[in-house]
Amino acid sequence: MRLDYLSIFPGYFDVLGISLLGKAAVNGLVDVYAHDLRDWTHDRHRTVDDTPCGGGAGMVMKPDPWGEAFDEIIGTEPDPSVHVVFPSPSGEPFTQSVAHDLSSVERIVFCCGRYEGIDHRVIDYARSMWTVHEVSLGDYVLNGGEVAALAITEAVVRLVPGFMGNPQSLAEESFSAGQDGLLEYPLFTRPVSWRGLDVPEVLMSGHHGRIAKWRRDESIRLTRERRPDLTDSDVSARH
């Protein structure tokens, strides 16, 4: 998997050389390339923004540098196998399902906007050439797309076959298909007693059936308490 990042702050992506992602890069599972959008400007100030047409506050990112960067980094021929991700506060929710879909893709280009956003024609052009995902991390405001691109990267790459040492752990996580869309149950490890707090006895019983039931019940309880939006009527009935 090749990952490209287009940003006026490419240094954000230096962190991708650390930890598991760094290991994946070493193992050849992922190749990471960060690009400074200003390298595709031609004025003395390396200008990437301008005032919004129609007025309004803030600045908008000019289309020209993006187009020239696309030409050099991706190419000038349409290729739907290339997935271009635009993090955006007005994007569709980024979910585990989207992460799973992207984990089988060979090439992802992250376009990290700043200011008030990117000239919409850039997104329209990208849609005419590649497979585009305009996604939002959640209902809160960031200053740009870089942090979102890092979060999306981690969510996607950890699902790439061969990345996680123990793929079984993926199946039991919150939001994984194996969890029926439920939140993950509470986790415990040794010591059994810690500052007056004990591990639930059932988890020390060695009775796998009771342990599985306790974990399921806890997942249902937590999901109903914290994320009623994740439990539809059918799921509630089953639970």
> Given the complex with ligand JFB, which of 8 and 74 has the nearer CB atom?
8
Does the annotation list 60 as a binding residue? no
| The token pair that represents 173 in the structure block | 């996580």
SS3 per-residue string spanning the chain: CEEEEEECCHHHHHHHHCHHHHHHHHCCCCEEEEEEHHHHCCCCCCCCEECCCCCCCCCEECHHHHHHHHHHHCCCCCCCCEEEEEEEEEEEECCHHHHHHHCCCCEEEEECCCCCCECHHHHHHHHHHCEEEEEECCCCCCCCCHHHHHHHHHHHHCCCCCCCCCCHHHHCCCCCHHHCCCCCCCCCCCCCEECCEECCHHHHCCCHHHHHHHHHHHHHHHHHHHCHHHCCHHHHHHC
CB of 92 to ligand JFB, least distance (A): 10
Q: Which residues contact 47 (CB under 8 A, 6 or more apart)?
A: 41, 62
Does the annotation list 37 as a binding residue? no
**Residues engaged in binding ligand JFB (CB under 6 A):** 87-89, 91, 113-114, 116-117, 136-138, 140-145, 148
Does the annotation list 142 as a binding residue? yes
CB of 67 to ligand JFB, least distance (A): 18
CB of 169 to ligand JFB, least distance (A): 26
> Given the complex with ligand JFB, which of 138 and 228 has the nearer CB atom?
138
CB of 221 to ligand JFB, least distance (A): 29
For 170, how many CA atoms within 13 A lie in the half-sphere containing its CB?
Answer: 17
Does the annotation list 139 as a binding residue? yes
> Given the complex with ligand JFB, which of 141 and 187 has the nearer CB atom?
141
CB of 167 to ligand JFB, least distance (A): 27
CB of 141 to ligand JFB, least distance (A): 5
Does the annotation list 197 as a binding residue? no
> Given the complex with ligand JFB, which of 140 and 233 has the nearer CB atom?
140
Q: Which residues are annotated as a binding site for S-adenosyl-L-methionine?
A: 113, 137-142
Q: Which residues are annotated as a binding site?
A: 113, 137-142
